[in-house]
Chain A
């Protein structure tokens, strides 16, 4: 009897263990998982593109500054004084430029690509 009970109980436990948890997979689970992965990749790719463009822009600016420094100004003091004088203007212009470029090249592009992907 004892052995029978153990066997019967084990069978019942085994049966219960094979049953999935009470909470089923939410509806649209696959779509949401794929969408979250896709969004992550679109964001990463857009940001990477922007960083490459920034690097190219900064590189070009550096080359231009070096050439300008050696060819046009010749004296480092003149350039330093000029930057010191105009630093507020340079900082504001750079911030606005960065903000506009970031919004246009990253945020809007990301939103556009997301809307196209998940349309």
Chain B
């Protein structure tokens, strides 16, 4: 079923079509909300708001972009509103400070996989401390495999800005990993 058929069925009150729309987009919305607000306990309520907004405004979808991009843009704006209400506007543009808990050498275990797993966990922790726009772009690009164009549609940022946010986010993560893990070579090559 394509987007146009799905929307027509939703507008005629077909509950099954609503279910299909939620099913097709639940990962996108969940990942975006989780990464943007960083508050797992509020994530489901925000997702509900997102889907309510989607169904309330489904008639306004003109088909200029993919339906998933349109839903993503609603999720983006709902999250921004949430952060504004919570007085976290600063997190839109600034990196939150990460506690300087350097990589613990006792974490080095005989299996190389475990160490790499811990490094990945560190990367995840660092993502949480990136500015909201950076982690949104990172999530959409790497996790949802959106194109630059789609990310631009969702966030309203120019494509060039999307690219620069993406590379800057990777740079910050790389810098922080090297800073926090002095024996990074050991982890990468010797395990």
**A→B interface (CB under 8 Å):** 4-6, 8-10, 12-23, 25-26, 29-30, 32-34, 36-38, 40-41, 117
Is B120's CB within 8 Å of the partner chain A?
yes
Q: Which residues of A contact B30 (CB under 8 A)?
A: 25, 29
The segment from B40-48, B74-82, B101-109 found at the interface with A is B40-48
Instruction: Tell me whether B124 and A10 are in contact (CB under 8 A).
Output: no
Give the shortest distance, in Å, between A5 (CB) and chain B (any CB).
6
**Within the complex, which residue of A4, A8, A17, A29 is in contact with B123, where a contact is CB–CB below 8 Å?**
A17
CA distance A39 to B123 in the complex (A): 40
**B→A interface (CB under 8 Å):** 15, 18-19, 22-23, 26-27, 30-31, 34-35, 40, 43-44, 47-48, 51-52, 55, 116, 119-120, 123-124, 127, 138, 142-143, 170, 173-174, 177-178, 184-185, 188-189
Sorted nearest first, the 7 A-B pairs with minimum C-beta distance are: A16-B123, A16-B120, A17-B142, A8-B188, A33-B22, A33-B51, A36-B48
Instruction: Tell me whether A13 and B123 are in contact (CB under 8 A).
Output: yes
**Within the complex, which residue of A5, A23, A30, A37 is in contact with B52, where a contact is CB–CB below 8 Å?**
A37
Give the shortest distance, in Å, between A73 (CB) and chain B (any CB).
48
Closest to A41 in B: B55
CA distance A10 to B173 in the complex (A): 10
Question: Do A34 and B123 contact each other (CB < 8 Å), given the known contacts A21-B34, A29-B30?
Answer: no
Give the shortest distance, in Å, between B81 (CB) and chain A (any CB).
18
Instruction: Tell me whether A5 and B184 are in contact (CB under 8 A).
Output: yes
Q: Which residues of A contact B173 (CB under 8 A)?
A: 13
Instruction: Tell me whether B142 and A14 are in contact (CB under 8 A).
Output: yes
Instruction: Tell me whether B15 and A34 are in contact (CB under 8 A).
Output: yes
Instruction: Tell me whether B120 and A37 are in contact (CB under 8 A).
Output: no
Instruction: Tell me whether B51 and A37 are in contact (CB under 8 A).
Output: yes
Give the shortest distance, in Å, between A11 (CB) and chain B (any CB).
9
CA distance A34 to B177 in the complex (A): 41
CA distance A21 to B142 in the complex (A): 12
Closest to B45 in A: A36
Give the shortest distance, in Å, between B187 (CB) and chain A (any CB).
9
Q: Which residues of B contact A20 (CB under 8 A)?
A: 27, 31, 143
Instruction: Tell me whether A25 and B27 are in contact (CB under 8 A).
Output: yes
Instruction: Tell me whether A17 and B143 are in contact (CB under 8 A).
Output: yes
Instruction: Tell me whether A13 and B170 are in contact (CB under 8 A).
Output: yes
